[in-house]
Chain A
Amino acid sequence: MSAVEIIELTKDYPYGFWRRRFRRALDHLNLSVEAGEVFGLLGPNGAGKTTTLKLLLRLIYPTAGTARILGYSIDDIEVHRRVGYLPEAPYFYDYLTAWEFLEYCGQLAGLSRMLCRQRVGELIDRLSLRGVEHVGLRKYSRGMLQRVGLAQALLNDPEVVFLDEPVLGLDPVGRREVRDLILELRARGKTVFLATHILPDVEMLCDRVAILNQGRLHGLGTLGEILKLAVEGIEVQLGRVSAPLLEELARQADHVHTAGDKVTVRLRAEGALDAVLDAVRRHGARLEAVTPIRRSLEDYFFEQFGSERVPDLQERA
């Protein structure tokens, strides 16, 4: 059984003074997520990622189509006992402390008082909130709020977790912790449905991805299937490069880049590698790395949607 099954899901937003015109945010989306996988939903701004999550959580209602989570229709509120959700850029009641807020969420999730306290304590520790759990949320930084958001999403030990931009606003340490948390969830057999802009995280975490643009599905499968991960060239990094070697490399390579005492050589054909390595040996240079160049998700986005729509490159880890 699929953990999440989306069937022809469509959402139109009305606009204009009379609200008689419509903008299509999601267009007949079909996809299924298997139990136990980390699934990434990717796309530029306005692609329909958050809309998809909000539809699945009944925060908004579909214009057409439906979806099932763990076999339940999304209209069945009972499914919310078995899922968790981290909204994008979460904002919580700033008059509460983290502990009070998480206890409140636990009560709403139907946890018994004892279990609720136990789970809150565990998650406070797991998300490094110990020591600040009795401080008002109004004093929390963006990253700390994100951790509280993750904690509330995991309170009921959900089988399916929906995360909307889970590492947004986190520092490198926080990002690493969240990535580890997602991998831990997968190891425990949970299904993680991830909507994100951060491409390296997707490459690192996701078993399969769906690529959305302007509400339409542009690709679905493993990263390898989508990016057609053939080796597109080879990158050689060298040290102690003499001037004659640099001249020889410039003739043989497609691109030579010098930064300080490091030289990076790019070769399009695999056959050129032997000649370059011979030259390196002859001139006594130091070989530091030989890396096959594969198409990255970033390249895919550039090709598909143009540089204007590449998801936040500055967000790269």
Chain B
Amino acid sequence: MWQRITAIAFNTFREAVRDRVLYNLILFALLLIGTAILFGQISIGVQKLILINLGLTAITLFGLAIAIFIGIGLVYKEMDKRTLYALLSKPVRRGEFILGKFLGLGLTLLVNTLLMTVGFFAALYYVKRSLELADWYLLTAIYFIFLGLMLATVLALFFSCFSSPILSAVFTAALFLVGSFSADLRELAAAVKAPWLDGMMTSLYYVLPNFRNFNVITIVSHGHAVPTAAVVLNTAYALLYVGLVLAASSLIFRNRNLK
């Protein structure tokens, strides 16, 4: 089983690399160099703050673009181009295919995020001429960004199992947006004070993916550490959510008739 899943994952990674997905790193590098030069005249503290905020936001957005634009085609493209026919005539279970595809894009995002992290720390070192303990807290923020990207990937993959790429992209982006402001849903319900709305908003708060919890950029950019409990809880939350959506995707895909 794992031989097949690994083969599918590696092939998905290879496709992304050959489709020049990692070229986004050049854009990322240019952005960091531009920021360092542009804000080079201001005081080091402000420059560092801008670089951290811009760098981490860029890692999020570049990763999100990859997660959505590749994720929405993971299953749909294979069905549309009928490349799946030869694959599924081998002893490959449909659930294995889904898991392999997810892990392949996960590996792509991991490599992309790691390379961006190296570039980001190089830019930080260039600006500050040294790295201190508080700077390493940034790694926690990047880890959370990666967890958030995994969540976005699995959502894109889920929609890709039954919807067209455009709709899948819209749904995934919408969920990312709503999930980034999910705490506001509960506040809205509390402000309106209507019991039915309160119940609905609370349900939505728990069902929708909570991307807000993965955003700790403000905390780490001011040199504060992220509590260990938050790391454990966020990891558990991401694993659970990804597992559930993967199971749902497999279930949908298992019952699909290929065209």
Contact = CB atoms under 8 A, between A and B. Distances in A.
A and B part of one assembly = yes
B136 interface: no
Contacts of B19: 95
* Most chain B C-beta atoms within 10 Å of own C-beta, residue among A104, A156, A162: A104
A105 interface: yes
A36 interface: no
A92 B83 contact: yes
- Size class of the A contact interface (CB-based, 8 Å): 20 to 34
Given A91-B81, A104-B7, A149 B86 contact: yes
28 contacts: A54-B85, A57-B85, A58-B88, A60-B258, A77-B91, A77-B93, A78-B91, A80-B90, A83-B89, A85-B85, A87-B85, A87-B86, A90-B82, A90-B86, A91-B81, A92-B83, A93-B11, A93-B15, A95-B14, A95-B19, A105-B87, A107-B3, A108-B87, A108-B92, A110-B3, A110-B4, A110-B91, A153-B89
B146 to A, nearest CB: 25
B129 interface: no
B15 to A, nearest CB: 6
A91 B91 CA distance: 19
A78 B91 CA distance: 6
Interface string B82-111: 111111111111000000000000000000
A85 B18 CA distance: 27
B188 to A, nearest CB: 35
B43 interface: no
B41 interface: no
B5 to A, nearest CB: 10
Nearest to B84: A59
A87 B255 CA distance: 20
A104 B85 contact: no
Interface of B: 3-4, 7-8, 11, 14-15, 18-19, 81-93, 255, 257-258
Interface string A134-165: 00000000000000010011001000001000
Interface of A: 54, 57-61, 77-78, 80-81, 83-85, 87, 90-93, 95-96, 104-105, 107-110, 149, 152-153, 156, 162
B15 A107 contact: no
B86 A109 contact: no
A96 B84 CA distance: 15
Given A59-B258, A60-B258, A80 B85 contact: no
Given A60-B258, A91-B82, A104 B91 contact: no
B91 A109 contact: yes
A22 to B, nearest CB: 13
Nearest to A55: B257
B11 A104 contact: yes
Nearest to B17: A95
Nearest to A92: B83
Contacts of A104: 7, 11
Contacts of A57: 85, 88-89
A107 B88 contact: no
A148 B170 CA distance: 37
A93 B91 contact: no
Contacts of A92: 83, 86
Contact of B15 (A54, A95, A162): A95
Contacts of B257: 59-61
B86 to A, nearest CB: 5
Contacts of A156: 90
A107 B89 contact: no
Contacts of A91: 81-83
List the 9 closest A-B pairs by CB distance, nearest first. Answer: A85-B89, A107-B7, A87-B85, A108-B90, A60-B257, A80-B91, A95-B18, A59-B258, A109-B90
A153 B85 CA distance: 11
Contact of A108 (B4, B14, B82, B85): B4
Most central of A105, A107, A108 by chain B CB within 10 Å: A108
Residue with the greatest number of chain A CB neighbours at <10 A, chosen from B7, B86, B255: B86
A141 B11 CA distance: 23
Nearest to A59: B258
B10 to A, nearest CB: 9
Nearest to A54: B258
A105 B258 contact: no
A152 B89 CA distance: 10
Given A84-B89, A108-B87, 9 more contacts: A87-B85, A90-B82, A93-B83, A105-B90, A107-B4, A108-B7, A108-B92, A153-B86, A156-B90
Nearest to B82: A91
A93 B93 CA distance: 20
A249 B14 CA distance: 72
Contact of A90 (B18, B85, B91): B85
Contacts of B14: 95-96
